Structure 1
């Protein structure tokens, strides 16, 4: 199924800027990453992390029952009550991955994941012949949406939320064990008003309802440019972290592993019902935090304030983008998001 291109809108210049630039360099507040201490450093004053609920180590890479995927061995540490992965000592598993959406997120993942040995297929809304050559430069194959969802272990959806219902017939053909990952965010100016989301429903729970199957949420809370040039090797103390929310230990293990393979620390952000903590306007959203900082940011999220903060950020970005003497770059966006969201 070829998805119809979304109509052009005049707001897109400022919106694409908000999602296409990423901090690098010396403009944003400095951060330090404590070595597994009970305090988290960030652009806010130091404060204690609540570790009273549980602090346990457990293996997270396991073979899903009946799955073709090889077992992985890794460790995860639960913190307040969110968990961060540690990449030490794990055996990698190679997967067949389909990606629908070749924009800021899908296009980068299509280039990055084949470098780790995964077999990747990617589809856009206009047909495989229109894919940018860079998207398939590391081995991904351009296909149709139906082909992207055929014979895959993982399907990554990286399209505007307003177009998710169009994918229900395609996703409905997937086996139950296929892991589906949603990377999207709700922006009313782009997606149009969605009554359920305006009423407070968790975005990825709405996606799950539209598709009629479980999904996980990942790669939604990172600026696009950071995804492009911010990947670092595991163990780097300044490696940016990405929260991953969802239900089902086996499926989440797969998603956490792919985030690590994409060049970022993976942090278990809880159930899909808790994924509002990483939606636009939340303290973790596009603020370029390390794995040590993410749990505290997730815990600090205020559900009733995130949408207002999201809209305020877009208003500031739109206003700034209209001034030709000023720039909207990653450094600016990171600082703005930290001020408004944290």
Structure 2
């Protein structure tokens, strides 16, 4: 009994010291560091049969403060990334750059590794945003995973939602409303938001994986795109800018190429998707007609751009054409 009383006194004192230290801290890293020490102490003491629930309760009590500080850090990092954005498409010269900036966040539109140098549709800030959000997820999971806790995905997801909707979406919206002055810039920002839509799927899968939650649970509860304000503002601004002027040939070509590339990617993603098990002959013929119409449209733009540039527009559809014309359907979707 005397030992138990002594231990209760010691735990009470440690909790008091922790409360005092946490109340003074103003950076998320400091809270995370102390959490690691407390977690290690708790694991060690439990091996000897001592109760450490009171210490862990102190950590749980300060999870909101930790995440608020973490959100504040991310807000600063995102603002810095936005401030450095030159609204230029990102160049990648090596495969490792593509892997680090695209494959790492599962924002590729095809499993085929592109030829290098590769020019992406988005600017350098997209992988910057992705790294910030991924780091936030990992830090959140690290703080929550103490004392043998397993069921904390909902907490991580709650703060991830806030990071995306309250921090990133608002920052992008402010950028669009204050810093975009031309069609080229608007196109890049619109492309950025489209790519971030794919990245958001990765974020929630990553959070689930680190939290020990089966990915099928995340797929079942798939939510709406958490950056709607930025997406809608980017599309509206781009549409408004296009309506206000007759586009120069190079800009028109770029707009058309982006549109045709997007259509081609959509067709490819649909054809290889798990939802499609088998194609009928009529379905294949219908897809062929659609692609021919788009190719004809591209060829007919020679009156607005050069013949060579019109051919380049047609090349935007080459992946959909090759996939439709190849042996893919016979090998993977069955005969028709």
Do they superpose with TM above 0.5? no
Q: Which of the pair is proportionally richer in helix?
A: 2
TM range (shorter): under 0.3
- When Rg is computed on C-alpha atoms for both structures, the one with the higher figure is 2
Q: Which of the pair is proportionally richer in strand?
A: 1
Structure 2 length-normalised TM: 0.22
Greater RCO structure (CA 8 Å; 6+ sep): 1
Structure 1 length-normalised TM: 0.22
